[in-house]
Structure 1
Amino acid sequence: MDIRTFDVFDDDLFHSYNQIYRAAELFERPDAPVWSEHEAAVTFRKPDDAEHWAAYAAFDGDTMVGSSFLASPQLDNTHMTWGAVYVAPELRRRGIGGELVEHLVRTTAEAGRPIILAEASYDFARRDDHPYRRFAEKHGFALASTEISRVLGLPVPETQLQAWIEEAAPHHTAYKVESYVGDLPDHILPSFCHVTNQLALDAPTGDIEFEAEAITPEVWRQKEAKIKEQGRTLLTTVAADERGEAVAVTNMAAPGDDPAKVFQWATLVLRGHRGHRLGLAIKARNLLELQRLLPDRRQVWTSNEEHNGPMLDINVKMGFEPVEILAEFQRKLDV
């Protein structure tokens, strides 16, 4: 078996790569959210100054039998990588996945990075002994953080969304809540980036130690261009202070290739501005804008570290239901 990079612009090879990914992700999880082939292709083909994405595949002769990727931050957290391996269910237990993992580990070490991260989703009932966890531990990874994936069924009655907005409003009269579809306006972008950069520091991350991100307005514009090329619709709501600067942000992405799902991305309120119900206010407002713009969507997917009490409280209040474990694993390397 040979593990190597391949030409991600070769449509036939990339189709094989993506088919293995989909088969692995949907195994025993038929409703799991997955990237479309187009979304994945844009991720690997379009340059990204913030993160380098490398695709690898395992070949038995000319046949692709496994796939993997390794993402390497370029502006911050340059001491780590994060990756994943995929093997179709019918080809498992042949050592393919193990060789792919060790290839990612070697590649990380050769880059001088002492930490590699990986994640896996599985049922609550097997959180302590699921085969994915045992596989990770066999290859030297330790469980470092546990998130809970949750799903909100849509639509939420607009009267309920308005009620949450009105419930929060008396607590943040000094702030202005604004919503945007697609690209953010120039005036809010620097402060939006500042808030976004704090997420890795302020949100619980278990035993994983992150640095603050270093996203700049220029880098975010690059991300917006990639999001649009992937066919996703980005919805963002911010709370701005009296200076007009964002102090709380939330955003969601609606994929063009999956007309039912929406993905909740970041939500964060800066520490000095907490206690004003801004988290509830911006999440309810963003959901209201989503349902007005895309009324046929049926699910919002999100995940939070299981000890992130304030955000879990908001998600439970809004009706998000737990569906599975999202386990984060870490392996420390001698480099």
Structure 2
Amino acid sequence: MQIRVLDQADLGDDELRARGEVWAGADLVGRESLPQRTPGEYVGAMRTPDPGERQLLLEASADGRLLGVAELWVPLLDNTDKAWFELHVDPLARRAGVGTALVRRVEELARAEGRTLLLAETHLPADEREDHGHARFARACGYERASVEVVRHLDLPVPDERLQDWVDEAGAERRGYRVETHADGVPDSLVASLCVLLGQLSVDAPSGAVDFEEEVMTPERLTAAVASATAMGRTRLETVAISPDGEVVAQNTLLVPSRLDSTEVVQWGTFVHRAHRGRRLGLAVKAAGLRAAQRATPGARVVVTQNAEDNAFMVAINEQLGFRPVELTAEFARHLPA
């Protein structure tokens, strides 16, 4: 077996798609009825990296057969003690040391980047958070569970009158806020305050056993995020609440399909500025965002979101909107030896 670090810029789309097929096939096991990222979306994401991090692609192969892939992300602007990775092994190649070999090579690369904490996520059934094979594998590799998020789905369409009831209940305009939805970027006048708000998310959102620094979000990174969504066949809808002084103080990001073969909307994040909480702005931007998503993609059939299980405020809003739990996403962490 060989482990290689690849430069995705040197790979053609068909070569990247082959790695995306391994990614998708591994992610499908035990989750056959749940929405999946397609190999085409994988190619789009790998072609449009975030300028705020270094992205490395690894593969394991033997006798010309691709056995597994891993992706490593190394932050460059903040949280420079950390790195994140994902691991995907062809189901037919499991239990042969492929995953362990990829993990150890990822760890070597992270240490070479000066990182001391390595994090990885995996999906788990709600009733198998301790005993599922992914959790057992993580522990065997020296990783401990750091946090758990609950993945929830909302079936679409939601009746327009119900959405309007939630908008009215939130009453953002009565409180002096303006709620707007923008596709593929926001006006220049909103970029700076939106970047500040998005940077606070990593500090204020519950993160379990790991502490994070405030993220350095830049206009260039926002532009890259839009480009990534477009490359994946999606439109990025940003719904914002704007304070009377013109600052973005709440946001909701939805990635809606722009291709006819997808019916899944991904809720990327929702956040309210710490100085403006307790005013129903979370409900306001979520409800307005859902309405915009349905109008933009009437064929969409489900919204996928996830929140820390102890994020009581956001969980309550999701439950009010009708989101139902379907699985868990667990983050595992390992402090790397020097």
User: What TM bracket, shorter-length normalisation?
Assistant: over 0.9
Q: Which amino acid aligns with 1:120?
A: T
Q: Pairwise mapping of residues 38-77 of structure 1 onto structure 2 (< 5 A)? A: 38-77=40-79
| Distance change (3 Å), C-alpha of 1:27 and 1:241 | same
Q: With structure 2 as the length reference, what TM-score do the two structures score? A: 0.95
Gaps of 5+ in 2: none
Tell me if structure 2 keeps the 8 A contact 1:240–1:247: yes
In structure 1, the residue matched to 2:6 is 6
Superposed CA deviations along residues 50-88 of structure 1, whole A, max 9, x for unmatched, are 122111100113221111110111111121111111112
Report the Cα offset of residue 271 of structure 1. Answer: 1.2
Distance 2:174 2:280 in 1: 7
Distance across 1 between alignment mates of 2:195 and 2:55: 22
1:268 equivalent to 2:253? Answer: no
Which structure 1 segments of 5+ residues have no match?
none
Q: Give the Å deviation of 1:7.
A: 5.0
Deviation for aligned residue 1:225? 2.3
1:12 Cα deviation (Å)? 3.9
Aligned-partner residue type, residue 246 of structure 1: V
User: CA RMSD, aligned part only?
Assistant: 1.5
The answer to whether the 8 A contact 2:54-2:76 is kept is: yes
User: Could you tell me how far 1:146 is from its partner in structure 2?
Assistant: 0.5
Deviates further, 153-162 or 66-75: 66-75
Partner of 1:147: 149
Cα distance per residue 1:284-328 (max 9 Å; x no partner)? 011011111111100000000000000000000000000001101
- Alignment partner of 1:329 is 2:338: no
Q: 2:292 aligns with which of 282, 289, 293?
A: 289
Query: How many aligned residue pairs are there?
Result: 335
1:93/1:186 CA distance change after superposition, 3 Å: same
1:29 maps to which residue? Answer: 31
The match for 1:20 among 19, 22, 34 is: 22
When structure 1 is superposed on structure 2, of 87-96 and 10-19 the one drifting more is 10-19
CA distance in 1, matches of 2:258, 2:6: 27
Partner residue of 2:245? 243
Instruction: Give, in angstroms, the shift of residue 171 of structure 1.
Output: 8.1
SS of aligned partner of 1:204? coil
Asked if 2 retains the 8 angstrom alpha-carbon contact of 1:171 and 1:277, the reply is: no
- The worse-fitting range, judged by mean Cα deviation, of 35-44 and 276-285 is 35-44
Q: 1 CA distance for matches of 2:231 and 2:26?
A: 25
Deviations 1:82-105 (A, max 9, x none): 111111222111111111111111
Matched, 1:195 2:197: yes
1:110-189 matches, cutoff 5 A: 110-169=112-171, 172-189=174-191
Deviations 1:213-263 (A, max 9, x none): 101123212222232233211111111111111011111001345521000
Partner residue, 2:105: 103
1:302 corresponds to which of 300, 305, 308: 305
Which residue type is aligned with residue 30 of structure 2?
E
**Quick check: 2:173–2:179 contact (8 Å CA) kept in 1?**
no
Compare 179-188 and 112-121 and name the one that shifted more: 179-188
2:193 and 2:228 map into 1 onto residues whose CA distance is 21
